[in-house]
Amino acid sequence: MTPVSFYMVLSAILFAIGVAGVMIRRNIIVMFLAVELMLNAVNLAFIALGRRIGSMDGQVIVFFAMTVAAAEAAVGLALIIASFRNRETLNADELNLLRW
Amino acid sequence: MFIELLIGAIKAIVVVLVVLNLTALMLWFERKGAALIQDRIGANRANVLGIGKRLGMPNFGMVNTILCDPIKMFMKEDFVPDGADHFLHGLAPFLALFPVIVTFAVAPMSDILRIGRYTIDLQPANLNVGALYILATIGIGVYGVALSGWSSNNRWALLGGIRATAQMISYEIALGLAILAVVVSYGSLDLQTICRHQGGVWFGFLPRWGILLQPVSFILLMVAGMAESKRVPFDLPEAESELIAGYFTEYSGGKQAVFMMTDFAEVVLVAMLATTFFFGGWQVPWLYRDGFHFPGGGHFLVPNLIVAVLEFIAFWVKVVVLCWLQILVRWTLPRFRYDQLMRLGWKGLVPIGLANLVVTAFVVVVAGAK
Amino acid sequence: MPVWLFIFLAALAVISALGVILQRNPVHCVLALALVLIDMGILFIGLGAETVGFLQIIVYVGAIMVLFLFVIWLLNIQTEERTSEGHLGLKFFGAIAAAALIAEFFAIFLNTPAAMTPRPLPVDYGSIASLAHLLFSSYLVAFEVTSVLLLAAIVGAIALARRVQRAGETVIHQLSSSVTSTEKAA
């Protein structure tokens, strides 16, 4: 049986990779994918700790987190489509109309 | 531990072999059986050393479809179009086939088999959440189609791939609602438990099969299943007259053979689901674990091995009958137009499925409260 | 879950996650993330959360990633060139920050005393019955609010992504203009 700290370490590594992805990539869709990666890393931490303390609450939280992530993905992608129609670019650096 | 692993491996091998053989049988039936349905002769020339002819038998076209066609398909040149993504182009057919075959891991082939001191449950993988597993693997099957359309570097293939993906994810919902209604009425997600609940009789003689409990779900599952596997009348993504061959335009040889296999394997899958949920799975009417108990009063004790074999044969016979039903529908109905297809999926099947689910849940709660 | 299996799945997840952020073609990134999500689903199942694990595969891999693929194809995104990624300083800083974050997490997680004694698991841990029991009793309000949230997301996504019909323009005009714009981009 793997100890729970192994799962936490994996969750931490995936979260950090997600953070690096958001900072490194400029393509909005890939940044969005990195955000989803971060969400999943946290889901893994919830389930692992929930099992450790023997409670189902971790799974319920993950259930809700998954649902909210789905809703957020739908609306976020719709936003990306709408902005692409106006600006014809997916590079986050070029979406700078509101910059000073 | 090792014995259990071995038993599990044998069950898995048996189910995969039977499925692959049924797929080959479907291939033959699609060619020769379709010809007979359409009142023509079909393939009847190829033979091996004139054996059938010397014995005076008519040629069934078996050598054609089982021997010559696969040899032809696998010896064709396997090319990747210019500018296409090599890795994804090669991966897509297998990404389409793998989830379909893997779904059979939860197929309940028979009731228990007692050998010595072992009681073997003849289901390769006994999952508590079997119905969720089926929905998950059917969901993964979308990727093969989507990637094949995109990785071909071909406008029409991409369009066919997008259409096929949209069709598949739309009908997954109707399929899921049909399966959910069955799950609610039997109170379990495990396929073996659902099959076991379909034993016994009503009114002394009628077998307790699921179709009498959930007829609307049966129709929903057959329609959604046929749309999911993109068979006629829902095969616009592969329509030859509209989109050349749709998402597998740029595939030839072995990879196209894998796509064909996916098509037929999914026919067997839908037949397996319908059998398990609605036709009692491996239940032979009036056959219980110890023997036959006929409604007239006759009781025959049957040893456990014979019971298991009878149930195994009954399961696959029912699967073949439902495959035949799907092939019959294929060669009878014309093709749907794409917007008609989408309208049927979203505005027809989903509301019916939801209403069915609500009524089922209501009836289950009222009947359970008594 | 035996340790060797966990190590294998963890290595697969980390390599695929690195693939997500390092691949050039967005479709390859989506597929790498789909692999990570299936991996997560398997880990959940190994931790006893069967329902949530399979739901993860159904919802995330089967629906959300397909949505991403659709958006990429709809927008007809070309493979980005290496030179279009600017901000070398940002990349450097990002890598350093990620490494620092990992080091911090390692320090926390590996030095935490085992203060939580593992409690025994109920028999139906991870089953859909126990999950549903919690959802409909303790978390009922969150459940209902989530359904309203999904409705809001559906309406919002449709409202944001649809084409505004100008006066006198029919649906055919809109579709043909979208086809010609993708033809020009192709």
CA neighbours within 13 Å on the CB side: how many for A17? 25
Instruction: Output Rg (C-alpha) for chain C, integer angstroms.
Output: 23
Average pLDDT taken over every residue of chain C: 82
Which residue in A29, A72, A80, A86 has the most chain C C-beta atoms within 10 A of its own C-beta, making it the best mutation to test that interface?
Answer: A29
Cis peptide bond N-terminal to B237, omega within 30: no
Domain parsing of chain C, residue ranges: 1-80, 139-186
Mean pLDDT across B225-232: 84
Q: What is the DSSP letter of B1?
A: -
At residue B347 the predicted structure's pLDDT band, cuts being 50, 70 and 90, is very high
**C36/A37 CB distance under 8 A:** yes
* Six-digit token string for B329: 């529908």
Say whether pLDDT at B105 is over 50.
yes
- Residue at A11 is within a domain: yes
* Six-digit token string for C92: 């450097």
Q: Do the Cβ atoms of B230 and B167 come closer than 8 Å?
A: yes
Which has the closest alpha carbon to A90: B137, B70, C185, C106?
C185
pLDDT at B293: 81
CA neighbours within 13 Å on the CB side: how many for C99? 6
- Residue at A99 is within a domain: no
Mean pLDDT across C82-107: 74
Interval C66-76: pLDDT, tens: 999 999 888 87
CA neighbours within 13 Å on the CB side: how many for C104? 8
**B128/C27 CB distance under 8 A:** no
Burial of C1 (0-12, 13-18, 19+ CB in 10 A): middle
**C131/A63 CB distance under 8 A:** yes
Say whether pLDDT at C59 is over 60.
yes
Domain parsing of chain B, residue ranges: 77-369
> Could you tell me the residue range of the domain that residue A20 belongs to?
4-91
Rounded distance between C-alpha atoms, residue C41 and residue A51, angstroms:
15
pLDDT at C123: 82
Q: What percent of chain A has pLDDT over 90?
A: 51
Q: What CATH number belongs to C1-80?
A: 1.20.120.1200
pLDDT at B303: 84
Contacts of C156 in chain A (CB under 8 A): 74-75, 78
pLDDT at B224: 93
At residue C175 the predicted structure's pLDDT band, cuts being 50, 70 and 90, is low
At residue C141 the predicted structure's pLDDT band, cuts being 50, 70 and 90, is very high
At residue C144 the predicted structure's pLDDT band, cuts being 50, 70 and 90, is very high
| Alpha helices by DSSP H, chain B | 2-28, 34-37, 51-54, 62, 69-75, 86-102, 130-140, 142-150, 155-186, 191-197, 210-213, 215-228, 240-243, 254-278, 304-330, 338-343, 350-369
Say whether pLDDT at B88 is over 60.
yes
Contacts of C186 in chain B (CB under 8 A): 155
Which residue in C52, C91, C144 has the most chain A C-beta atoms within 10 A of its own C-beta, making it the best mutation to test that interface?
Answer: C52
Least confident interval from A81-85, B238-242, C89-93: B238-242
pTM across the whole model: 0.89
Mean pLDDT across C41-68: 94
**A51/C160 CB distance under 8 A:** no
Min Cα distance B317 → chain C (Å) is: 31
Say whether pLDDT at B21 is over 70.
yes
pLDDT at C186: 47
Which has the closest alpha carbon to B168: B185, B190, B143?
B143
* β-strand partners of A91: A27
Mean pLDDT across C105-129: 74
Interval A3-15: pLDDT, tens: 888 898 899 999 9
Say whether pLDDT at A100 is over 60.
yes
Min Cα distance C6 → chain B (Å) is: 20
Residue A16 sits in a domain of what CATH number?
A: 1.10.287.3510
CA A23 from centre of chain? 13
Which has the closest alpha carbon to B167: B216, B101, B238, B98?
B238
Average pLDDT taken over every residue of chain B: 86
Interval B270-279: pLDDT, tens: 999 999 999 9
* Six-digit token string for B315: 């399961």
Closest CB to C58 among B88, B139, B166? B139
- Residue at A100 is within a domain: no
pLDDT at A93: 78
**A29/C72 CB distance under 8 A:** yes
| Alpha helices by DSSP H, B187-253 | 191-197, 210-213, 215-228, 240-243
Rounded distance between C-alpha atoms, residue B238 and residue B242, angstroms:
8
Min Cα distance B108 → chain C (Å) is: 20
Q: Do the Cβ atoms of B150 and B158 come closer than 8 Å?
A: yes
Closest CB to C66 among B128, B142, B189? B142
pLDDT at C6: 93
The sign of the dihedral angle between the CA atoms of C31, C33, C34, C40 is positive
Say whether pLDDT at A88 is over 70.
yes
Which residue in C35, C58, C71 has the most chain A C-beta atoms within 10 A of its own C-beta, making it the best mutation to test that interface?
Answer: C71
* Six-digit token string for B300: 């025959």
Q: Which residues contact B289 (CB under 8 A, 6 or more apart)?
A: B111, B112, B304, B307
Query: What angle in degrees, to the nearest 10, is found between the helix axes of C65-74 and A57-87?
Result: 0
Min Cα distance C51 → chain B (Å) is: 7
Rounded distance between C-alpha atoms, residue B259 and residue B251, angstroms:
9
Q: Which chains touch A (3 or more CB pairs under 8 A)?
A: C
pLDDT at A91: 81
Q: Do the Cβ atoms of C9 and C39 come closer than 8 Å?
A: yes
pLDDT at B172: 92
Question: C interface toward B at CB cutoff 8 Å?
Answer: 25, 27, 31, 34, 38, 41, 50-51, 54-55, 57-58, 61-63, 66, 69-70, 73, 127-128, 186
Interval B22-62: pLDDT, tens: 988 888 888 877 888 888 877 777 767 766 666 767 777 77
Interval A59-76: pLDDT, tens: 999 999 999 999 999 999
Mean pLDDT across B300-314: 87
Burial of C163 (0-12, 13-18, 19+ CB in 10 A): middle
Contacts of B128 in chain C (CB under 8 A): 50, 127
Q: Do the Cβ atoms of C27 and C78 come closer than 8 Å?
A: no
Least confident interval from B62-76, B171-185, C144-158, C162-176: C162-176
Say whether pLDDT at B190 is over 60.
yes
Higher local confidence (pLDDT), C108 or C140: C140
C64 touches chain A (CB under 8 A): yes
**DSSP codes of every residue in chain A:** ---HHHHHHHHHHHHHHHHHHHHH--BHHHHHHHHHHHHHHHHHHHHHHHHHTT-SHHHHHHHHHHHHHHHHHHHHHHHHHHHHHHH---BGGG--TT--
pLDDT at C179: 54
Helix (H, G, I), strand (E, B) or coil at C72: helix
